[in-house]
């Protein structure tokens, strides 16, 4: 779990923690805007589990059938500068992904900034580059048009 937390911390400067919950470890990753109370608007939880046949690429068949499996959307940073840092980190890490099932064609930082989003699927060990887990992420700026806006009533 520590390696997954390190990935999100390194590539997204996301607040992370790893805790023990009963008999397993849980990595908690925060995304979106951080409130005055220190809480993130979105969190991902990864729970460690023992199994005989660990999952391979979730929702991907030999990486050729993108878009048929699971994907998540996360919102990064407090502003576009934070988003640009995350896009740059993922571009430099060789993680940017183009899913042909969607219209956005983002394989560099300039197009990520224009579209206010990019995709990646490999959560990697930052020391070795080994893939730890595969899950398609749509990474969006908090200025993306689909960012949830809170309306006061």
| Residue 38 confidence class, pLDDT cut points 50, 70, 90 | confident
Residue 128: pLDDT over 80: yes
Which range (38-52, 54-68, 131-145) has the least confidence? 54-68
| Residue 79 confidence class, pLDDT cut points 50, 70, 90 | confident
Please state, in angstroms and as integers, the Cα–Cα distance from residue 22 to each residue in 26, 28, 130, following that order.
10, 15, 28
The stretch 33-56 carries a mean pLDDT of: 78
Residue 28: pLDDT over 70: yes
Going by C-alpha positions, the residue among 138, 146, 7 that lies closest to residue 70 is 138
Displacement of CA 118 from its chain's centroid (Å): 10
Mean pLDDT of the chain: 84
Place of tokens 């990595």: 27
Phi, psi of 14 (to 5 degrees): -80, 140
Name the CATH architecture for the domain at 2-141.
Roll (3.10)
* Angle, CA 117 vertex, CA 29 and CA 122 arms, to 5°: 50
Place of tokens 């969006």: 140
What pLDDT does residue 55 have?
A: 54
| Partners of 96 in beta bridges | 120
How many Å apart are CA 124 and CA 121, to the nearest integer?
A: 9
Residue 81: pLDDT over 70: yes
What is the reported pTM?
A: 0.82
The stretch 73-87 carries a mean pLDDT of: 90
Residue 142: pLDDT over 90: no
Sequence-ordered alpha helix ranges (H) in 13-108? 80-92
Going by C-alpha positions, the residue among 63, 47, 56 that lies closest to residue 1 is 47
């Amino acid at each position: 779990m520590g390696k997954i937390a390190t990935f999100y911390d390194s590539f997204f400067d996301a607040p992370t923690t790893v805790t023990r919950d009963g008999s397993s470890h849980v990595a908690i990753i925060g995304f979106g805007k951080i409130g005055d109370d220190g809480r993130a608007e979105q969190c991902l939880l990864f729970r460690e589990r023992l199994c005989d046949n660990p999952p391979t690429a979730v929702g991907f068949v030999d990486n050729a059938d993108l878009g048929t499996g699971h994907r998540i959307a996360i919102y990064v940073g407090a502003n576009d500068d934070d988003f640009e840092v995350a896009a740059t980190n993922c571009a430099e890490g060789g993680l940017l992904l183009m899913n042909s099932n969607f219209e956005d064609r983002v394989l560099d930082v300039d197009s990520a900034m224009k579209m206010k989003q990019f995709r990646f699927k490999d959560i990697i060990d930052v020391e070795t580059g080994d893939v730890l887990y595969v899950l398609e992420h749509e990474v969006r700026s908090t200025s993306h048009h689909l960012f949830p806006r809170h309306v006061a009533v």
